[in-house]
Amino acid sequence: MEITYALAIGVLTGSGVWLLLRPRTFQVIMGLSLLSYAVNLFIFGMGRIMEGGAPIIDTLKQIDPSLYDDPVPQALVLTAIVIGFATTALFLVVLLASRGLTGTDHVDGDESEP
Amino acid sequence: MSLAWLVILPFAGSLCAAFVPSHARNAAAWLAGTVAVACIALGIQFYPQIAEGEVVRATFQWAPAVGLDFKLRMDGFAWLFAMLVTVMGALVILYARYYMAAQDPVPRFFSFFLAFMGAMLGVVLSGNLIQLVVFWELTSLTSFMLIAYWYHRSDARRGARMALTVTATGGLCLLAGMLILGRIVGSYDLDVVLASGNLVRAHSWYLPALILIALGALTKSAQFPFHFWLPHAMAAPTPVSVYLHSATMVKAGVFLLVRLWPVLAGTEAWFWIIGSAGLFSLVLGAYAAIFQQDMKGVLAYSTISHLGLITLLLGLNSTLALIAAIFHIMNHATFKASLFMAAGMVDHETGTRDLSRLSGLYRAMPITATLAVVGAASMAGVPLFNGFLSKEMFFAETTFVSGNVITRIGLPTMAVIWGTFSVAYSLRFILQVFFGPAAKDLPKKPHEPPRWMLLPSGLLVTACLVVGMFPATIEPYLDIASRSVLGPGIPFHSLAVWHGLNLPLIMSLLAMAGGVALYRALGKYQQGTAVVPLINRFDGQSIFQFLLKKLESFAGTLTRCLSTERLQVQLLLLICAVFASALIPFSNGGLPAGNQPVAPVHPAFALMWLVGGACAIGAATQAKYHRLAALSLSGGAGLATCMTFAWFSSPDLALTQLIVEVVTLVLLLLGLRWLPPRYKSVDDKVVPLQTRLRARTRRLRDMALALVAGASLSALSYAVLTRQAGEGISNFFLENSLPLAGGSNVVNVILVDFRGFDTLGEITVLGIVALTVFALLRRFRPAPESMGLPVQQQVQDAQIPGWTPDPRALLPEGPMMLPGVLVQLLLPISGMVAVFFLLRGHNEPGGGFVGGLIVATAVILQYLVGGTAWAESRTRIFPQYWISAGLLCAAGAGLSAWLVSRPFLSAMAWHARLPVIGEVHLSTVLLFDLGVFLLVIGATVLILVALAHQSRRGHRKPATAHEEPEAAVPAATPRVAEITADLAQPHPISHAWAPAPAPKEG
């Protein structure tokens, strides 16, 4: 399981980094989106992966932390997902405005790159 | 305690004056005058103590951790200076009341004026070096405001900027010097510093400290070679010049030199640095003053010269010279202030200060003329006026200087030359303006100014005469001040008009005769020219401008060298930096061996990620030319991520990821509408071969980097996953979630309770982003290529010719009618589901984030299915209210803890038994989560709807009436067009998607 998980992160990171370095704004926004999947999975993986251990305490049993998955990375990633949405929205609007103002979708707003 | 009032009162008065209506000239003047008089009274009240030789102190804790106290300290010298500041302040306030025109915003003037007075008193009374520098810089800032008071005039702005640049730079040097001095002594307390003169002078860091402190003092006192800002500061209103540029601010520099005299003076370095700066200013200032055409220009250069005299006296390392310097500080303040006032009155009554236009004013303004003559006589050092006394003392000091022949002979010679020059410019100042034939073409018909305006000048002139004729009156005050600087054993000195026929008197007579001769000799030459012979080329101002320009271009070059504007390069560097930082932990020893058992791969999971990975790679290859495909493929990868969260026991993340995935997809789809497509065939034709080759190499490089990044993050993840987790804080949350916070969903408890403050910050960011998106879209200009209707819509319209849907219909017409019924049914259901998720969030997967996103999705579905026009004709959601309600809810939940004296965001719960309903459990945590819920709804809906609304703006052609002028505005002034468009739309925020002006073409 771990190897699949790690490979998935690798593929997402590779695709994300590749797109991040492209010159077109839409490529960059896609790249950020893929890279944020990778990073979220990575952070989530820092709590180690575990099946059937959702951190929802069984009120009938004695509390035993080893039965549950680590909740801290989960809380962090939950925040990251929502903020990721907000930044995507902001970037999208800036991208559209830049396309309208400069007439190009190059990330520098200037087609005459060296 | 009352010592503090001396500093607090002016600042409090300044604050009050700022709130006085801008036309209330008298109210502001009364306020300022009362404050100044109160300060004088406070000062006088200290006199008995000060006269006993006591030092009054008041200490307040400031930063005890670093051994800093806010300390006020008043000894004889500080008292004398404080009286100078307050008495002059009161006189200038009276003068300014009549000088300022009714249409000037006078309260602003008095507000800055009082703030300056407070800062100046702070400098004078500081008992701590750092505190002194703080007040010092405050005087620079307030003087900037005062010089630029008439900010509509470019000379005022330029003069203020120059004064600030020079004096504030000097202030920074002073800070550095004070830090060194404090380090040498081991304390910043002025009392301790003053007592350790020998230690300081013997220290190896003495010279750097001296140079830095001298830079601060010399820039402030406009001493050569930093003197050039003072003449340009004459663009200030005359009361400012009277107060700042004759009596107080420029005196701050010499004040500091006197203050630190016991510590720093007495060395060769002091003599050469301070003495030579003083000597140059003394002679060059007087020389340049002869050739000025502006009355205030003459006075400004004369001030430089007289401050040079004080500086030179201080530089002579003689105690008698120090007493003379303190005496001259007072004398110069009285006669120069009265002369500035006279210049202001002439300007006020005739409309000009130009010496070549003014003539024979004594007929029209006899009182002003008399006052000016007395002031000028004192400035020239004529016997029986106070200027004479300190000048004699100066002459006497120059003859006592020991050393080689050059200083022994040169210094007295220079003194006589200076005396000659000052007699010449004083004569010219008086004879040109007030005597001779009456001037004809003056802008105004001259007459005597109001009585109250003459009074301050009259009082000052009286002081000049009294001190000049009966020097014994000033003797005790001078004695107190000198004693406080020099200690009890001050040398014998006597102030007397007649010392017998001695060398200084002969020098005075020589200078006077020379001055008259020089004035006669120059005669015609001075008319109509402001060129100063010989030194005209060495203009401080042009050097200053040149240096500024060089500095600017250097900064520009440095920025270009050190950074790039190209995003790709920046991102590349960023990724490399992340790599480098990730490698650091590996450098010492690498990882311990893996110790965790590895779970066998589940085929379904592997298959899912086979698809997910393919989707990610597909999105990477398609994002340039096939955006929709890339978007869908990236969604595939997102779903795989979401499933992974669900697989590995994280239902909350899976839920959130799923809904965010939907919302992001809708968002990007809405955005794609405004992004004109790229065509591969066109690109290939346009781009030349060379560029394509370069692009290919870059792609190879990026490909390599992407592969390395992916592989290493894979390896790192695998390495982490196969090793035991360290002891973290997670167990705390798992163990305490239920007993402490009463919730069994630990993730939700962390978000809304344990780490509620983080969440509060996060939702605030979300709200800000939403408002920013909205603001950016209000002035949105889409690409011209995307202005028309999309192809699909054109095709659809062509199929049903002449069909225009009615936005007010109950259901969307046409093919979307059935889905329209469904989504309308879905709206209340989704609302219920959202509330369900919200309420159960504390114990089961769910919570405010998920609930809010569900509602937002349901709302945007209405738009998707019914069309923007149809949806907007029936919804009035006002998302900005939801955002603010959410923030208020969350913050209110946090603040409510204060009601029971618990820290911010402490959770509180109530158990109550209600009739019928039964047992109820209420908690502020639920209120907080409700805030999150509301804010997420508001922010998400605002973002999506603002974007969706653009489709309605795009179809409107710019043809309606009020948009005509906008189209007519030339392209060069888009700001104006935007502002007028802004004004044309009265209520920008309340109609998030009300029709805004159509985007401009091109």
For chain A, which domains are there? 2-49+68-102 (1.10.287)
The beta-carbon neighbor of B649 closest among A9, A30, A54 is: A54
User: If pLDDT is split at 50, 70 and 90, which confidence band does B102 have?
Assistant: confident
State the smallest CA–CA distance between residue A28 and chain B in angstroms: 9
Any CB–CB contact under 8 A between A2 and chain B? yes
d(CA B379, CA B373) in angstroms, rounded, equals 10
Shortest CA gap B553–chain A (Å): 24
State whether residue A104 sits within 8 Å of chain B by CB: no
* Whether B734 and A71 lie within 8 Å, measured CB to CB: yes
Q: Flag whether pLDDT at B981 surpasses 60.
A: no
Write down the pLDDT at residue B526.
66
Model confidence over A2-43: pLDDT tens digits? 899 999 999 999 999 999 999 889 999 999 999 999 999 999
Say how many Å lie between the first and final Cα of chain A, rounded.
45
CA distance linking residue B846 with residue B832, whole number of Å: 13
DSSP state of B962: G
- Which residues from chain B sit within 8 angstroms of residue A10, using beta carbons? 710-711, 713-715, 717
Token digits of residue B689:
């071969």
Question: Residue B13 to residues B8, B16, B484: CA-CA distances in angstroms?
Answer: 9, 5, 31
Residue with the two structure tokens 């340049």: B288
Structure token pair of residue B528: 């109509």
Report the chain A residue with the minimal C-alpha distance to residue B1000.
Answer: A100
Which of A4, A38, A48 lies nearest to residue B605, judging by beta carbons?
A: A4
Among B374, B380, B397, residue whose Cα is nearest residue B469: B374
State residue A112's pLDDT score. Answer: 63
Amino acid at B107: P
Residue the block writes with tokens 């000062």: B43
Mean pLDDT of chain A: 89
pLDDT recorded at residue B543? 82
Residue B641 touches partner A, C-beta closer than 8 Å: yes
Give the residue-averaged pLDDT of B119-125.
Answer: 94
Q: Are B37 and B46 in contact (CB under 8 A)?
A: no
Q: What is the per-residue pLDDT for B869?
A: 81
Residues of B with CB below 8 A from A53's CB? 649
User: How far off is chain B from A20, nearest CA to CA, in Å?
Assistant: 7
- Residues above pLDDT 70, as percent of chain B: 92
User: Residue B402 is encoded by which pair of tokens?
Assistant: 């020991």
Whether A112 contacts chain B with CB within 8 A: no
- Condensed to tens digits (0 to 9), the pLDDT of residues B882-900 reads 999 999 999 999 898 888 8
Give the containing element (helix H, strand E) for B290.
helix B268-290
CA dist B163 and B168 (Å) reads 8
- Calculate how close chain A gets to B302, using CA atoms only, in Å: 56
Inform me whether the pLDDT recorded for B977 exceeds 50: no
pLDDT for res B991: 39
What is the average pLDDT across B289-302? 90
Average pLDDT, chain B: 85
By the CB < 8 Å criterion, does A70 face chain B? Answer: yes
pLDDT of residue B996: 41
Give the model confidence (pLDDT) of B305-334 as tens digits. Answer: 999 999 999 998 888 889 999 999 999 999
For chain B positions 599-628, those within 8 Å of chain A (CB to CB) are 599-602, 605-606, 609, 612-613, 616-617, 619-620, 623-624, 627
Q: How many CB atoms lie within 10 A of CB B355?
A: 21
Q: Do B782 and A99 touch (CB under 8 A)?
A: yes
Token pair for B949: 């609304």
Pair B346, B358: CB distance under 8 Å: yes
CA-based nearest distance A112→chain B, Å: 10
Nearest to A11 among B605, B613, B751 (CB): B613
Is the pLDDT reported for residue B563 higher than 60?
yes
Q: Tell me the chain B residues in contact with residue A81 when contact means C-beta distances shorter than 8 Å.
A: 653, 656-657, 660
pLDDT above 90 as % of chain B: 42
Find, in chain A, the residue whose alpha carbon is nearest to that of B948: A93
- How is residue A97 written in tokens? 């405005």
Residue B512 has pLDDT above 80, yes or no: yes
Give how far A22 is from chain B: nearest CA, Å.
Answer: 7
* Residue B762 at interface with chain A, using a CB cutoff of 8 Å: yes
**Which chain A residues contact residue B738 at CB under 8 A?**
57, 59, 63
Query: What Rg do the C-alpha atoms of chain B give, in angstroms?
Result: 39
Backbone angles phi, psi at B910, to 5 degrees: -120, 135
- The CA distance from B609 to B627, in Å, is 22
CB B157 within 8 A of CB B151: yes
DSSP per residue, B365-416: -HHHHHHHHHHHHHHHT-TTSHHHHHHHHHHHHHHH--SSHHHHHHHHHHHH
Average pLDDT over residues B33-42: 93
State the Cα–Cα distance between residues B152 and B150, nearest whole angstrom.
5
- Cβ–Cβ gap A57/B737 under 8 Å: yes
Residue with tokens 């601010």: B249
pLDDT of B759-818, one tens digit each? Answer: 999 999 999 999 999 999 887 888 888 877 778 778 877 777 666 777 777 777 777 788
**DSSP labels, B408-449:** HHHHHHHHHHHHHHHHHHHHHHHHHHHSSSPP-S-SS---PP
Asked if pLDDT for residue B952 goes beyond 70, the answer is: yes
**What is the predicted pLDDT for the residue at B954?**
53
* Residue-range domain boundaries for chain B: 265-526, 746-797+807-1002
**Chain B contact present for A18, CB below 8 A:** yes
pLDDT confidence tier of residue B499, bands split at 50, 70 and 90: confident
The span from the CA of B762 to the CA of B125, in Å, is 47
CA atoms within 13 A on the CB side of B888: 7
A33 in contact with B, Cβ within 8 Å? yes
